[in-house]
A and B are shown apart, each in its own frame.
Chain A
């Protein structure tokens, strides 16, 4: 017999992916990469032992930002670009909550670039997931700040002339201490990233490469297609050599003369396994080099690229000052207003 233990609020102690799915009908386009990310999140949260009542998803505006409606947790679908600011306010008020921010390339890097910067540099303990599809989907296909030069769209009929932003490079520049990258359909890898992000105390930034099937289909095909995936994806792991390729004979090497990374093949031009760089996720300079690599000359680098926690996160430091202030006793407003120069009228 199967006995499920129920707690007071009707949820069992041990939750499954289903317990994290809301009753709302998911309204993304059929085939959208967001479905896979949502499914991975449901499962990951259940596996991590997260509690729906203590979990909050906050989003801005855009396709990705509908995410909270499909989670059976607390959720706040806010306004364009401002999710990190609202999440910061919530985290300051309620540090014990597990707060996730779901955003897109337009939401986070265009209209909300400023808020993302400050949430990262302050190191607020938020898990920020940026779904990057290099397009504005919800507004019907305009180019975005991550679109490549030449991207044709309703607002760039002759092709975009903007130089694109690189999400992880931006995050590192903002002072992020956890930067990771995954692909929408790689549930197993995403699961690891979600767990690592949640465990990281401080702001965690995860870029998720996400395919927009309607307005920008196959834009990442050069490294996501099955046929090329092994040769064009480098999944990094701390302490392990950065090897990739079907034969796992390809790797990255540092040229100490040019201070550039080079894609090399073991056995060619005298390259041996010893030449291959070992990933060090605490190395910020290395992270900066890795996130900037792009196919076709290089593989797309995926996984936890940088993780170097600070002594404490922002809201912890804020709380520490408050605790310090309260140590002198609780405030008495009537007394405060009567301090200093006063006089009595009889």
Chain B
């Protein structure tokens, strides 16, 4: 039996208020209407926090609708940040502070707040009809709903309107400054410098724009409100020491940014120009947006008419001797499958990025999941092996993207890179890498006419030659029909098909010799229990395993798989050296099934498909249960 992670859990494992001095990390959740600018508020606070030298992880959690009807629970947009003076690995299980800009935001989020946590409310948004619309029978401020929390009510709406008045902006624009007013207040609470936000406002609106001036004034006013109102001790300013990290230059980076830059870096290391062909889809589109601005890097972006055309155009570009890349999410990947088969059959390099989201079908477009593992590894007609790799965090996308380009070009194969909605949108402090620190893997196009045929292979990698149109003397035809092993011409010969199928399989299997052996992230390489994860569950699993070892003395290790296919050579033996294996993932058991089928091990799963990231406590409790320590 697999353990089901309880996504709706409202337990409070640590319980009770925690005095500020005990905290080495704080989780703040901002929530409001989708028009309230909560994502901007969150990302600017993250920027200020990063510049203050804290470790942090963020979790933007927003609805699929651009502007759902005002005041509804399904229109609530939230942004969670966990920051601290120790290394933060997740966006946090439970918020310590909830900022609710309307009753619906309170309704959706108060149950997740830590007991004794702080709720900051915009009392100006708590009108009778708003309260009813959010689904509260009576005003939650007065009926004991919030009795386990500390509540601070401020009429943020009125404050924002007042501040904006002198700038002559409309009532609507004035009210929209409440996100920056709130940011000012929270910046005061955590002793943040607001320069980066002031610069952002100036950049966005221009120095003379009344709306910009109103926003800047609101930011300052929120900060001043904290200073002058002598807020109660619980919310007195906290200065969190900066985290001890490796020396170097840092920035905040989202998964989409680092992935896009990683692709650009990979192309440079391969000495190729890149063509990214994509079709808009959530949450993958930012990759297209970022690369569209990088034309000076020899990057061409093409917004195709559909997902199929996007994949096909990328294949066309690779055929022409460029690095073809296509980026999408689950439903888009489903559409690209036939074209990916063509790239496998014609053995052309191609990078396919899948930023996974909740499925099946349209599923949960803005929520995260890891349920495309099967379609990535096995989802094609015919025996069609393909390397699959997965990134573990926003910053990690950079390295994984480079690795994807390396494998695609070295082995003349499409490669699927799995990211997910959580990684793509979340931001983390990132020690900025340098392209120069990576070993180049220059592509050499075939030009030798002597003995040429298009499926002539490197005896070691089994990669075929890459001969591009325009090369004199190498004119040839390729296609999706089976090819003769010795000439590349069409062949329907039975023995040849067997040989070609075996060769394509061996080529991909051999990549296992070209990737690092599986290591253990935390704990011993053998023992009672290994918790296995892949992709964005790295953070919660890692923290939970650390905690269980250090705080509860349990014999548990953490294994994190980056190369999903082919798997590292030693993984089977490593997993068999533990008495128990628990696979924790955000799907209904896909990696679990993969590992069971490959190694015939009796692994169990900790499986969660709520659209929300795995929590540390969910992993911890599964570890206790596996080890009989509950």
Contact = CB atoms under 8 A, between A and B. Distances in A.
Interface of A: 7-11, 22, 24, 52-54, 56, 58, 68-69, 71-79, 82, 85-94, 96-97, 114-115, 117-118, 318, 321-322, 324-326, 328-331, 333-334, 336-338, 340-346
B480 A78 contact: yes
Interface string B270-286: 00010101000000000
Contacts of A329: 296
Contact of B473 (A53, A71, A331): A53
B313 interface: yes
Contact of B296 (A24, A58, A75, A328): A328
Contact of B313 (A53, A74, A92, A342): A92
Given A82-B312, A94-B469, A118-B305, A337 B261 contact: yes
Interface string B399-434: 000000000000000000000000000000000111
Interface in B479-525: 479-481, 489-490
B432 A336 contact: no
Main secondary structure of the interface of A (DSSP, over half): mixed
B469 A54 contact: yes
Interface string B329-349: 000000000110110001000
A75 B470 CA distance: 12
Interface residues of B, number: 71
Given A79-B480, A329-B296, A344-B250, A90 B339 contact: no
Contacts of B490: 24, 69
Interface of B: 47, 50-51, 53, 196, 242, 245-252, 261, 264-265, 268, 273, 275, 277, 294-298, 300, 302, 304-306, 308-309, 312-317, 319-322, 324, 338-339, 341-342, 346, 432-436, 449, 468-481, 489-490
Given A93-B321, A325-B296, 17 more contacts: A24-B490, A68-B477, A76-B477, A86-B312, A89-B314, A93-B320, A94-B469, A97-B469, A115-B308, A318-B300, A322-B298, A333-B268, A337-B261, A337-B433, A338-B432, A344-B250, A345-B247
Contacts of A92: 275, 300, 302, 313, 316-317
A133 B298 CA distance: 42
A9 B449 contact: yes
Contacts of A78: 312, 315, 342, 479-480
Given A76-B479, A77-B479, A342 B249 contact: yes
B475 A85 contact: no
B435 A334 contact: yes
Contacts of B252: 341
Given A118-B305, A333-B261, A342-B250, A74 B469 contact: yes
Contacts of B342: 78-79
Given A82-B309, A88-B313, A94 B478 contact: no
A72 B432 contact: no
Given A92-B302, A341-B47, A344-B248, A7 B472 contact: yes
A72 B475 contact: yes
A86 B311 CA distance: 8
Given A77-B479, A346-B247, A87 B316 contact: yes
Given A53-B470, A88-B302, A338 B320 contact: no
A16 B491 CA distance: 29
A77 B62 CA distance: 44
B320 A89 contact: yes
Contact of A88 (B264, B297, B316, B322): B316
A58 B477 CA distance: 10
B576 to A, nearest CB: 41
B298 to A, nearest CB: 8
Contacts of A336: 261, 294
Contacts of A52: 475
Nearest to B248: A345
A7 B473 CA distance: 10
A82 B273 CA distance: 23
A93 B249 contact: no
20 contacts: A7-B472, A10-B449, A22-B477, A53-B471, A69-B479, A71-B477, A75-B478, A77-B478, A78-B480, A87-B316, A89-B277, A89-B313, A92-B317, A97-B320, A117-B305, A118-B304, A322-B295, A326-B295, A334-B435, A345-B242
Given A86-B315, A90-B316, A77 B449 contact: no
B47 to A, nearest CB: 6
Given A10-B473, A74-B469, A322-B295, A85 B308 contact: yes
B53 A345 contact: yes
Contacts of B320: 89-90, 93-94, 97
Nearest to A8: B472
A94 B313 contact: no
Enumerate the 10 nearest inter-chain pairs by beta-carbon distance, A residue then B residue, closest first. Answer: A89-B316, A77-B479, A89-B313, A9-B472, A9-B473, A331-B297, A325-B295, A85-B312, A75-B477, A93-B320
A341 B196 contact: yes
A325 to B, nearest CB: 4
Contacts of B477: 22, 24, 68-69, 71, 74-77
Contact of A24 (B346, B471, B489): B489
Nearest to A334: B434
Contacts of A11: 472-473
A11, A86, A94, A115: most-surrounded residue (chain B CB, <10 A) = A86
A74 B296 contact: no
A114 B306 contact: yes
A7 B472 CA distance: 10
B251 A342 contact: yes
Contacts of A76: 316, 319, 346, 477-479
A333 B317 contact: no
B275 A343 contact: no
A200 B305 CA distance: 24
B451 to A, nearest CB: 14
A333 B293 CA distance: 12
B313 A79 contact: no
B297 A74 contact: no
